[in-house]
Amino acid sequence: MAVAANTVLEGTRTLALPGFALPVALLLPFLALSRERGDALYQAIPGFLDWGHTATYAFAAIFVLLFGCASAAFEVRDRQVWSVVTKPVSGGGWLLGKWLGTFVLGMTIVVGGSLLLGTGAAYLASQRPIDERDARDVRDSILVGRVGILPEYLQIPAEELRAAIDAEIESDGVLRADLANGLRDEGEVRKAIAARKRKEFLDSQRRIGPGESREFTFRGLRGAVQGGRKVALRYRFHGGGDDEHMRFPAMIQYTTGKDAGSWELREWVPGEPYTLTLQPRFVDPDGTLRVRIFSAGFDEAAQQPVPGTVTMFMTDDSLEVMVEDSTFAGNLASAVAVDACKVAFLSALAVCSGALLSFPIAVLLAFGVFALATLAPFLATSLPNYDPDQKSGLLIWAFQNAVLGIATAVEYLLRGFAARSPSDALAQGRSITWQALWAAVSGIGVLWTGGVLALGWLCVRRKEMAVYSGNS
């Protein structure tokens, strides 16, 4: 504890902590006050939460990486550690104290920024909304923690998929020639065609032509309805070139529950998200909700539907049922807990790097791991498109496979770091569930942090931290 207390005093007296905390204290109020008159609160508050949390976490992460590396590396370089690593304090105890002090300093930025984040969100929510829908969306969709339920989609049958692959190969003479001459691998070709056919089959279920309709099924709503929690349908349609100046009609019909057959007429702007509150009477007793969406309007004079003018289509997250799961305060506290796990890991990484390496090398290592962990989702997206070229020669093909293997291993080991990002959850009003919180605590907070500290302790034991230079 003495080493941790001295580390905290070091971070405060050298103005390292104030140097990183002050920008956060200035930036968040500026973001909250920068809303222009006439801007919808439904758009202003998510932007503030996203940018505010990202800035808070970024400053905390950069601080612990730089300060942790510097504090440990400079103590070893200047031989100040000689007066510490003696019988009362072991090398492992010194390492643990440096980590704990660095972690406390980093969490000071996180907690302070989170308090400003909550205060700024409350201030924006107290401003006058542009209309009733704006106020309702902020109350029910942003300042809350919700869990999303996606609709069920059919998968293309195996026999139909196999027949489609064979038909495409048979119809492409150039492809058949390449396969016959050994220029292309048949297994890879069939795999690529299968992936494309699956996507096309899935996309066809998300497309609604003019005057057509499609039914979507959601399950697992029984507990939410019985518990009296708020349930809403969130949708975002695309079409018409995604021209934000255009408006199109859509009819939404409920085909389950006590009021099966009832419908609502809605207008939508391409690419703009909407939220529709769902009543319990639309849900079956087993928790099933079915919604039929028409690309059509309604002629009041003729009392009949009128086909729409565009084809509506949706992406994989454009349609979902949102169930209230927690409050905004609880969600913000969960975000702080996730950030604490990440700061703990980065503190351990920085301190152990600084204790074993010189300051420049320690900073390169720590920031390198941090960058790889942060960019793991982009790596996961690009890996399926990286295909070693067998025609380029054995040496180049082997090198490309080695690169693919290393990138796959890095993505697998570090995918959990960036996958648990509270910024998106806070901005979209999505609940950070207990399962996600437990995964962050057990994975990043315990296994990753404990593993780095254990590795650092094993290396510190073998490193000569102090020598006796007196006269006998």
- pLDDT above 60: residue 469: no
- pLDDT above 70: residue 96: yes
Under the banding of pLDDT at 50, 70 and 90, the label for residue 178 is confident
Q: How many C-beta atoms surround the C-beta of residue 371 within 10 A? A: 10
**pLDDT reported for residue 249:** 92
Nearest partner of 21 among 127, 119, 111, judged by Cα: 111
- Residue 177, judged by CB atoms within 10 A of its CB (0-12, 13-18, 19+), counts as exposed
- pLDDT above 60: residue 192: yes
- pLDDT above 80: residue 304: yes
The encoded tokens of residue 12 equal 């405060």
- pLDDT above 90: residue 120: yes
Q: Which range has the worst mean pLDDT, 29-38, 166-175, 459-468? A: 459-468
pLDDT, tens digit (0-9, with 9 covering 90-100), for 383-415: 777 777 666 677 887 888 888 888 888 777 777
**pLDDT reported for residue 470:** 45
Q: Are 143 and 49 in contact (CB under 8 A)?
A: no
**What percent of the chain has a predicted confidence (pLDDT) above 70?**
93
Q: Which residue has the higher pLDDT, 333 or 137?
A: 333
**pLDDT reported for residue 464:** 57
- pLDDT above 70: residue 314: yes
Name, in order, each residue with C-beta under 8 angstroms of 235's C-beta and a sequence gap of 6 or more.
Answer: 268, 273, 274, 276, 293, 314, 318, 319
pLDDT, tens digit (0-9, with 9 covering 90-100), for 426-451: 988 889 988 889 988 998 989 999 99
pLDDT, tens digit (0-9, with 9 covering 90-100), for 245-255: 889 999 999 99
Q: What is the 3-state secondary structure (H, E, C) of 39-94?
A: CCHHHHHHHHHHHHHHHHHHHHHHHHHHHHHHHHHHHHHCCHHHHCCCCCCCHHHH
Q: Which residue has the tokens 């085909």?
A: 255
- pLDDT above 90: residue 67: yes
**pLDDT reported for residue 243:** 84
Q: Are 401 and 196 in contact (CB under 8 A)?
A: no
Distances (CA, A) of 160 to 157, 166, 168, 355: 5, 10, 12, 60
User: CA-CA distance, 375 to 426, in Å (whole number)?
Assistant: 20
Under the banding of pLDDT at 50, 70 and 90, the label for residue 42 is confident
User: CA-CA distance, 340 to 430, in Å (whole number)?
Assistant: 19
**pLDDT reported for residue 472:** 41
Nearest partner of 53 among 454, 469, 436, 425, judged by Cα: 425
Under the banding of pLDDT at 50, 70 and 90, the label for residue 14 is confident
Q: What is the mean pLDDT of the chain?
A: 86
What is the pTM (predicted TM-score) of this model?
Answer: 0.80
Q: Which residue has the higher pLDDT, 347 or 389?
A: 347
**pLDDT (average), residues 145-163:** 92
**pLDDT reported for residue 468:** 44
**pLDDT (average), residues 177-198:** 85
Under the banding of pLDDT at 50, 70 and 90, the label for residue 212 is very high
SS3 444: helix
pLDDT, tens digit (0-9, with 9 covering 90-100), for 283-294: 999 999 999 999
- pLDDT above 90: residue 183: no
